[in-house]
Structure 1
Amino acid sequence: MPAYITAMGSFLPGEPVPNEEVEEYIGSVGRASSGLREQTLDNCGIKTRHYAIDKQQKTLFSNTELAVGAIRRAVERSNITLDDIDLIAAATGLPDLIAPGFASGVHGELGSPPCEIVSTHGICSSGMMALKNAYLQVVAGEKKNAVACASELISRLMKSDRFTDVRPVSDDGAIAMEIAFLRYMLSDGAGAALVQDRPAAEGISLRIDWISLTSYANTERTCMYMGAADNSGKRSWLDYPSAAEAAVDGALALRQDLGLLPHLVRLGVKEYQRLLDEGRFDPDELAWFPAHYSSERMKSMVLKEIEKKKLRGPSVEKWYSNLTRVGNIGSASIYVILEEMLGEGMISAGDKLLLMVPESGRFAVSFAHLTAVSGGEV
């Protein structure tokens, strides 16, 4: 039995925030903060993003509310109601609560009838994990209507107030580069996809042909992490005498080991090559290559690696991302990209799409192949 994405929704809180106003929301940390902001934003290419906090650093929406907003918009565009949802698969990198799972909060806030839920936790790939769970349940005939969603609310973790007592690591009082640059890279938002066992009666639906998720944690060191002061894996924040002492040591800050990022590029292209060699897709048949990446510089690195390996890659004009306008929303990015493409009428019946979502956590790479079908087509 096939499975189709029949409707999508997104929720981007507030108005777009331009680069020059970023520190009006998250504040500045360390004497070199503004200079680092310019360097980071020049590299990543982001011009605007969205925050779920205001300029007083007050939280306006919870992460759960962002996810629910995206789900409601997806359902409003479909032929079902909230009462018809059989499964909610919810992904995030940083839930509102440590426990219970994120999907429990989403289901509770949504207020839909009893249904199955699943929470997928991680970084960027967790959104694809949720989508694959929904896809497989529909394909197996377990569910007729499944909702997959991904949501991120990272701004409240990046507020300057949270770094007041963090131990500085340089003479000018600046926090570690591996923490500081992420304050300007990441943003808030959510996306949702309704997955059903038949295409929508009208408009374009996306048949899910396959989804591939591969972890390389068995060979790679941790790159992006939270809950420790370093990536050695020897001391968790739970091993400190108190959460306050863990926070002072920087163990409750999100970090990324920049020196390991080239590994992600190589692994992403390695997975692309594996799927290509297996005949899972034909680059010449692709109409679009929607890709989640953290910066325009990373995109250039991927293109160079593909050229270096002399692979048949998707042509540059087939790549699609809205990173420069909505920022890096982690696990929700690929949902927001697809929602925008469908909403703008960019996808036509017969188009084939190859989605790419790399994750720098401990390195995982996800791909998905979709085929667009017209209303009612089976």
Structure 2
Amino acid sequence: MDTYVGRPGPSTRALKNKVLTNSGITTRHYALDQQQKAVWSNTRMCAKAVNDAIARSEVSLADIQFLAAATTVGDVIMPGLASLVHGELKSAQCEVISTYGGCNAGTSALQTAHLHVGSGTKNTAVVVASECNGRIFKNAHFDTVATDTGELPMEAAFLRYMLSDGAGAAILRDQPASRGVSLRIDWISLNSYAHVHETCMYLGSASDAPLRSWWDYPSAAAAEAAGALAWRQNLHLIPEVVRVCVEDYEGLWKSDRIDPYRIRWMPAHYSNERLKGLLLREFSRRGIPVPPSERWYSNLTRVGNIGSAAIFVILEEMLARDLIEAGDTLLCFVPESARFSVAYVHLTAVTADD
């Protein structure tokens, strides 16, 4: 890791080992070379993911009527990521939308595309999400917040050893593929709890309260010197993620939208393996039934945390491994700690004969 994002001081390296132990991450991916130069961008990774998805589908680029692109932090401030991806693909004229801000940017993009296809206004849509955050964590970007020995503050170093780069895409149609298993979207629940929780993860400000934008500094150099361009996480607020996720699930369960005993798989995006244990214990403490641990599916340890793209890569991996059979029900789980939101996506595996 340090070969790609740079070597911090000795105390920060000790923190790295602790973070990796808690997260369970053993391998990850960077869109950088060993000179810390970007070899991919969000735009190019998104285009690659879309082209790969199209190549394995029954549609062409010309069939795309709606393109939704998601990321936590885009390549540029403007234009939007979806416009950049559309330009990179050079596909036909279509409607586009960009979503930003955290892990649920991907779920928001999926929800928007689903509503278009489900309502009949479009019959073919593509959703793509990408994270290219390794470049944000290069040593050079942390010089102003590091100590003389190169140590990084914990709230900055924590994320540095959690996040990975990558992209994933999904094709949405108004009918299943003629061959193999398709995933029908039954419903998507996506709720924000920003009205009851303070900011937990932030970039573009030196402090989470109040949020003074980096634009408010005299110059970009002044903003960087103040630490406003260092990505941070308020670690004291992370336990609130567990409460938000459990309470949101409980509401869906009590309203009979979730039958935990019929769910075959629970594809889950979480930032570390320890969080999974905390969630399961809290569900148990409250007497809320959930799919057992062995039905939760994550590739975190092998892939790393790729934020908004994670759930798409997880589902692709499950399909590629033939883990999903016709008739299976899936409940995807995507929490986001930036300002606290959580998504649950209910899917059913179907075939053209269903």
TM over 0.5: yes
Q: Which residue is 1:377 aligned to?
A: 353
Deviations 1:132-184 (A, max 9, x none): 111110010011100011100000001112223x133x675522110012111
1:28 counterpart = 2:7 = yes
Deviations 1:320-367 (A, max 9, x none): 000000000000000000000011100000000000000001000000
**What does the per-residue CA deviation read over 1:265-293, in whole Å, with 9 as the maximum and x for residues that have no partner?**
00000011000001002100000000000
- 2:22 matched to 1:46? no
Do the aligned partners of 1:190 and 1:336 also contact (CA within 8 Å) in 2? yes
Query: What residue number does 2:320 align with?
Result: 343
Whole-angstrom distance in 2 between the partners of 1:282 and 1:87: 32
Three-state SS of the structure 2 residue aligned to 1:103 is: helix
SS in 1 for 2:258: coil
- In structure 1, the partner of 2:145 is 167
1:325 aligns with 2:302: yes
1:291 corresponds in structure 2 to 268
3-state DSSP of counterpart to 1:210: strand
Q: What secondary structure sits across from 1:109 in the alignment? A: helix
Q: Tell me the equivalent position of 1:230.
A: 207
User: Percent identity at matched positions?
Assistant: 52
- Asked whether 1:147 is paired with 2:123, we answer no
Check the 8 A contact 1:225/1:254 in 2, yes or no.
yes
Say whether 1:245 aligns with 2:226: no
What TM-score does the superposition give when structure 2 sets the normalisation length? 0.98
Question: Would the aligned equivalents of 2:183 and 2:350 in 1 still touch at CA under 8 Å?
Answer: yes
C-alpha root-mean-square deviation of aligned residues, in Å? 1.1
Matched residue SS, 1:139: helix
The equivalent of 1:73 in structure 2 is 52
Aligned residues: 354
Task: Say which SS state the counterpart of residue 32 (structure 1) adopts.
Answer: helix
Aligned CA distance change for structure 1 residues 104 and 338 (closer, same or farther; 3 Å): same
Check the 8 A contact 2:66/2:113 in 1, yes or no. yes
Counterpart residue number, 1:270:
247
Contact 1:224 1:255 survives alignment (8 Å): yes
Match of 1:135 among 89, 114, 124: 114
Secondary structure, aligned partner of 1:49: coil
Matched residues in 2 for 1:180 and 1:28: separation?
11
Q: Residue 167 and residue 327 in structure 1: after superposition, are their counterparts in 2 closer, same or farther (change >3 A)?
A: closer
Q: Which residue of 2 aligns with 1:192?
A: 169
1:72-151 equivalence runs, <5 A: 72-151=51-130
Given that 1:29 and 1:163 are in contact with CA atoms closer than 8 Å, whether structure 2 keeps it comes out as no
- Amino acid in structure 2 at the alignment position of 1:28: R
Q: Which amino acid aligns with 1:141?
A: G
Unaligned runs of 5+ in 1: 1-21
Where does residue 360 of structure 1 map in the other structure? 337
Could you state the TM-score of these two structures normalised by the residue count of structure 1? 0.92
For residues 113 and 281 of structure 1, the distance between their equivalents in structure 2, rounded to whole angstroms, comes to 39
For the residues of structure 1 that align with 2:271 and 2:226, how far apart are their CA atoms? Answer: 27
How far apart are residue 28 of structure 1 and its match?
1.5
The amino acid across from 1:42 in the alignment is T
Gaps in structure 2 of 5+ consecutive residues? none
Runs of 4+ in 1 over 3 A off after TM superposition: 170-173
Query: For residues 297-316 of structure 1, what are the structure 2 equivalents within 5 Å?
Result: 297-316=274-293
